[in-house]
């Protein structure tokens, strides 16, 4: 077999292997879903794997929960691989479904599209039930009345037609503080108060874990996508294209002016060192040769800087797309993060809220903020290899902070004044 035949055979084998990626990923996800379903059937009578079902000790439940997390992680990874690869390669087993899916018909008695859709059905059922293990606990927390712990109460809360609601939430001639005290005593005397406190603590812990993990993923995943795409995909393509096309060294006139200024400074410094005897005495020709070598070094440096700027443009696009896709597929985590942030913000004192508002407004729309915006815009322009247009920067600084300041004031007037009037009063006093 010749070298060309070997390369053709290898390319064909790789292409065939990649073309089977959707089917292979779905099969592995289906196997993981079957293992989870088997645990449910054998130990929880078909119910979800939870402490609410089954009579097991804490150690036994931890072992079962460990198996659940392992199989669920495999299921989520394979389905992400399936969704990504199915958008590129055609799935050979997916065709037109001519018969309805029946739960009591085993897969070995059907074939073709029915098998494909049956696997997807089971996988989707498991994912809907265990999309996020902590979400199940958080949803239970939201549907149960809170006992044993203090919750955020606002004076603007509307009374509800609920016979079990707290006394402090009802309209009464007595002050709300007295009613809240009665509610707290009633909760403390409840025999199930301790169990409820432990359950709420576990749910709060799960919420914090999900929120912190999601924030770290929002930062790490786009940065990792930008780094990997720049160094392993976009970088080699840009370097090869620029070498083949003999591209220009400078992307814009500003980079050329910086290079000339750097070379001029080097020549003046070198001549000064020769004159004061700090450098060995050289004639004019030798000085010119040294300056020429420095010019070649500066040329190579700016050639690499121009290539890095082009790579940054495409790598940043990849990072933005990755960030957008990640947000699109994590709606539950976004809701948990929003709830976590709201709980932190509303749990702060009025002085802390006013301090944070003043800090952010002074940084972004305060008296010294134009200097920060100028540095930020110039750094972004250098990162993308664009000339720092002073007119655009000044126009941006003259308009965007003003719009941002208006949004801050509207938010304070429209929402914060309704939710926490005392925080608004404290903010006005501190700002004055």
Regarding whether 104 and 21 lie in a shared domain, the answer is yes
Regarding whether 122 and 9 lie in a shared domain, the answer is yes
Q: What total of structural domains would you count in the chain?
A: 3
Residues with Cβ within 8 Å of residue 30, at least 6 apart in sequence: 119, 122, 123
Structure tokens at 175: 């002050």
Question: How far apart, in Å, are the Cα atoms of 55 and each of 41, 50, 51?
Answer: 14, 10, 8
291: region left, alpha or beta (phi > 0 left; psi from -120 to 50 alpha): alpha
pLDDT (0 to 100) of residue 110: 47
Regarding whether 358 and 297 lie in a shared domain, the answer is no
pLDDT (0 to 100) of residue 175: 66
| 267 within domain boundaries | yes
Q: Which residue intervals of 48-130 are DSSP H helices?
A: 58-86, 113-129
- Coil vs helix vs strand at 177: helix
Q: Please give the full DSSP string across 244-297, using - where no structure is assigned.
A: HHT--S-SSHHHHHHHHHHHHHHHHHHHHHHHTTSS----HHHHHHHHHHHHHH
pLDDT digits (tens, 9 = 90+) for 142-198: 444 443 333 433 343 343 444 444 544 455 555 666 777 777 787 777 777 777 778
Q: Would you say 287 and 271 are in contact if contact means Cβ atoms under 8 Å apart?
A: yes
| 63 within domain boundaries | yes
Regarding whether 358 and 315 lie in a shared domain, the answer is no
pLDDT digits (tens, 9 = 90+) for 379-414: 999 898 888 888 999 999 999 988 988 998 888 888
pTM over 0.75: no
Query: Which of 131, 166, 195 is a domain's end point?
Result: 131
pLDDT above 70 (res 236): yes
Query: Which of 79, 100, 131 is a domain's end point?
Result: 131
pLDDT (0 to 100) of residue 187: 73
Q: Which domain holds residue 83?
A: 3-131
Cα atoms in the Cβ-side hemisphere of radius 13 Å centred on 289: 5
pLDDT above 90 (res 50): no
- State how far Cα 231 lies from the chain centre: 21
- CA angle at 332 for the pair 204 and 323, rounded to the nearest 5°: 115
Main-chain phi, psi angles of 283, to 5 degrees: -80, 180
Main-chain phi, psi angles of 330, to 5 degrees: -130, 50
Query: Which of 80, 106, 131 is a domain's end point?
Result: 131
């Amino acid at each position: 077999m010749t070298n060309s035949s070997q390369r053709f055979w290898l390319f064909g084998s790789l292409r065939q292997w990649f073309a089977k990626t959707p089917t292979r990923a779905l099969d592995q996800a289906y196997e993981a879903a079957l293992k989870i379903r088997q645990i449910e059937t054998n130990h929880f009578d078909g119910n979800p794997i939870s402490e609410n079902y089954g009579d097991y000790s804490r150690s036994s439940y931890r072992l079962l929960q460990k198996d659940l997390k392992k199989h669920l992680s495999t299921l989520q990874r394979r389905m992400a691989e399936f969704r990504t690869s199915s958008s590129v390669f055609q799935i050979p087993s997916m065709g037109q479904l001519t018969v309805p899916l029946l739960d009591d018909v085993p897969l070995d008695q059907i074939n073709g599209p029915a098998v494909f859709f049956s696997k997807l059905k089971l996988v989707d059922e498991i994912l809907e039930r265990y999309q996020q293990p902590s979400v199940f606990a958080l949803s239970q927390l939201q549907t149960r009345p809170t006992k044993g712990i203090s919750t955020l109460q606002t004076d603007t809360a509307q009374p509800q037609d609920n016979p079990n609601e707290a006394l402090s939430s009802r309209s009464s001639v007595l002050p709300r503080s007295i009613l809240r005290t009665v509610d707290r005593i009633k909760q403390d005397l409840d025999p199930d108060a301790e169990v409820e406190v432990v359950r709420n603590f576990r749910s709060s812990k799960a919420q914090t874990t999900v929120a912190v993990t999601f924030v770290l993923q929002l930062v790490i995943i786009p940065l990792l996508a930008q780094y990997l795409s720049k160094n392993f995909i976009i970088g080699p393509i840009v370097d090869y294209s620029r070498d083949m096309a003999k591209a220009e060294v400078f992307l814009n006139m500003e980079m050329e002016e910086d290079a000339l200024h750097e070379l001029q400074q080097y020549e003046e410094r070198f001549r000064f060192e020769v004159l004061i005897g700090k450098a060995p005495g050289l004639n004019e020709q030798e000085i010119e040769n040294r300056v020429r070598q420095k010019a070649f070094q500066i040329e190579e440096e700016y050639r690499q800087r121009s290539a890095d700027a082009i790579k940054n443009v495409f790598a940043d696009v990849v990072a933005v797309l990755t960030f957008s896709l990640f947000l699109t597929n994590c709606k539950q985590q976004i809701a948990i993060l929003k709830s976590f942030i709201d709980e932190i913000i509303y749990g702060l004192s009025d002085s802390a809220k006013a301090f944070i508002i003043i800090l952010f407004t002074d940084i972004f729309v305060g008296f010294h903020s134009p200097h920060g915006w100028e540095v930020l815009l110039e750094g972004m322009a250098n990162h993308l290899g664009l000339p720092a247009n002073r007119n655009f920067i000044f126009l941006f600084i003259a308009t965007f902070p003003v719009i941002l300041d208006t949004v801050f004031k509207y938010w304070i007037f429209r929402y914060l004044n309704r939710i926490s009037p005392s925080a608004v009063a404290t903010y006005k006093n501190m700002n004055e």
